[in-house]
Structure formats: C-alpha cells, structure tokens
Amino acid sequence: MDQLLQQIINGISLGSIYALIALGYTMVYGIIKLINFAHCDVYMIGAYIGFVCITSLKLGLIPALLIAMAICTILGVLIERIAYRPLRNATRIAVLITAIGVSLLLENGMILIASPQVRVYPQIDGLLAKSFDIGRITINMKQVLILATTIILMILLQFIVKRTRIGKAMRAVSLDTEAAQLMGINVDTTISFTFAIGSALAGAAGVLVGVYYNSINPLMGLLPGLKAFVAAVFGGIGIIPGAMLGGYFIGMVETMVAGYGGSMFRDAVVFAILIFILIVKPTGLLGKNVREKV
C-alpha cells in the first residue's frame, strides 16, 4: 500500500511535466489545427536557457524559470511568424512537414551550439534539496515544486482563457476563424498569443525537468514530446482540461508499468494507448463529435 502511494507520487511528478508540454500541443492544435512538432524542442531550449541562467549567470531558480519562459515565448512567436504564418492558407500537410523541419532545425542547431553531450544541472542546495516523510512515504521538495508550479501555471492559463479578452478571442478563433475575423478579432495576433503561452509553458517544463532529473541534452525533447502528444490526444486534442488529464494519466501509466515489473515496456505501453484511443475514440476522452464543415 505504501509502495502504491509512493508510485502515485512519482506518477504525479512525471505527469505534471507531460501535462505542461501537452497543453502547448493542444492549444496550438485547437486554434490552427496544426500538430506543432517543434514544440518539444522549445521545451529542450527552455531547459538549456535555465541551465545557462543557473550556471553561467548564477541566478536563482525562480529568475531562471521566468527568463526561460520569457525567451521561449519569444522563440515560439518567432517560429510561428517565420515558419507557419506564410503557410496560413497552404495545405495542412505542408504546415505539418514544416513543423517537423523546424523541430530538426532546433535539435541540430542546439547540437551545433552546445555539442551532443549531456549537460548536468548544478545541485540546488537549501530547501529544494530536502525531503520529508509522511508515514512511510517520502516526498522530496522538487516533486512539490513541480506540482506547485504546474498547478499555478494551469490556474493562470485557465484564467487567461476564460476571463480575459484575449482568451475570449482565442476561443472564438478556435471555434470559427472566419467568423471571428468578421467580428473584428485580429486572428494573427491571437494565434501569436497562443504560441506564446504554449511555448512559455514548455520552457517552464524544461527548467523543471532540468532541476528534477539534473541531466539535459539536445535530444531530450523527443520522447517526452511524443508522450505529451499522446497525452493531448488521449484527453482530446484541442481541449485544454483534456491535456491536463491526459498528461497526468500518461505519467501515471508509465510509472505503474515501470514500477510493477515492466520497465522495458513503459514506452511501448504509452504508444499502445495512442493506437487504442485512435481506434476506439479518436476525439479523445473529453472530445465531442463535431461534424467537419465542408
């Protein structure tokens, strides 16, 4: 029983990371129907920016987190402006291929700049190095940090989407781009803003992963990116609460599979879920069947 509870805590920490990345996928998909494969590399770049802030600039964790989020925001907007906006009226497959191209560019660019070797986040002392016990369960402060950051960012996101003008615009564009444009909504700005938020969340996830696991490398985004994508599909791609739910679900499944004897199958199980969902309920757990406009 203790062990199960401990595994649940492990699963929640891992799930938080997936949820943060999955939100970026799902928001972008919701608004321009594009699976932004470059998203997982924005996450990787976030981790590297955090690394530079902490090691070279000797900043604390919170400033590093904020700087990484800020730079990733700019990067996300730039990617959208340079790579995707010129293709706004192109076929979906063209944009998708562009997304894969951007992803490869970012990965190999980072290999060129930072070399393919693994970098190590410095140990963080003080409060974060501590852990505490509840009964026979150990929770360390980094797990608390990950969960707390994720929850704060999600509440913030929920607030932006539901309660602000720009959030309203996002929802409108997502529902019907042309109608929104006719109502006087600036579609380009709204899309840029969506990329900005998604990328900021990915940047935050990158720094959190760096602090939690210590090791980062230019290809670190590949597998978590794919899993976050599975999480987004699982929850229903385009639906924000679905991405959170999916992220935690995938994190939990992976932990349970690894923890109860299947450490060699944990990646396989996650992708088996993707296939299963696509066969049984392609719209995802929270998805509704909407008829495609013709």
Chain centre distance of CA 158: 15
Hey, how many other C-beta atoms are within 10 angstroms of the C-beta on 152? Answer: 11
Least distance to other proteins, CB of residue 259, Å? 4
Residue appearing with tokens 């060699």: 264
Cα–Cα distance between 138 and 207 in angstroms, integer? Answer: 23
Window of 33-41, 95-103, 120-128, 283-291 that interacts with other proteins by CB under 8 A: 120-128
264 binds other proteins (CB under 8 A): yes
Is the torsion defined by CA of 40, 42, 48, 51 positive or negative? negative
Least distance to other proteins, CB of residue 10, Å? 4
Give CB contacts under 8 A, 24+ apart, made by 146-153.
146/13, 146/16, 146/17, 146/208, 146/212, 147/12, 147/13, 147/16, 149/16, 149/65, 149/204, 149/208, 150/16, 150/17, 150/19, 150/20, 150/208, 153/20, 153/201, 153/204
Per-residue contact track with other proteins, 153 to 192, x per CB under 8 A? ----------------------------------------
Token pair recorded at residue 239: 């639906």
Cα–Cα distance between 149 and 245 in angstroms, integer? Answer: 16
13 binds other proteins (CB under 8 A): yes
7 binds other proteins (CB under 8 A): yes
254 binds other proteins (CB under 8 A): yes
Q: Which residues contact 235 (CB under 8 A, 6 or more apart)?
A: 22, 26, 241, 242, 243, 244, 245, 246, 247, 249, 284, 285, 286
Least distance to other proteins, CB of residue 60, Å? 18
Residue 1 or residue 290: which is nearer to other proteins going by CB?
1
Cα–Cα distance between 128 and 151 in angstroms, integer? Answer: 18
Window 200-229: residues binding other proteins (CB under 8 A): 209, 213-215, 220, 223
Residue 251 near residue 17, CB atoms below 8 Å: yes
Region label for 133, one of left (φ > 0), alpha (ψ between -120 and 50) or beta (otherwise) = beta
Q: Which of 70, 105, 140, 171 binds other proteins (CB under 8 A)?
A: 140
11 binds other proteins (CB under 8 A): yes
Window of 96-104, 157-165, 238-246, 263-271 that interacts with other proteins by CB under 8 A: 263-271
Window of 10-18, 93-101, 144-152, 242-250 that interacts with other proteins by CB under 8 A: 10-18
131 binds other proteins (CB under 8 A): yes
138 binds other proteins (CB under 8 A): yes
Residue appearing with tokens 């529902």: 175
Residue 122 or residue 282: which is nearer to other proteins going by CB?
122
Q: Which of 86, 92, 155, 260 binds other proteins (CB under 8 A)?
A: 260
250 binds other proteins (CB under 8 A): no
Binding site for other proteins (CB under 8 A): 2-3, 6-7, 10-11, 13-14, 116-118, 120, 122-123, 131, 138, 140, 209, 213-215, 220, 223, 254-256, 258-261, 263-264, 266
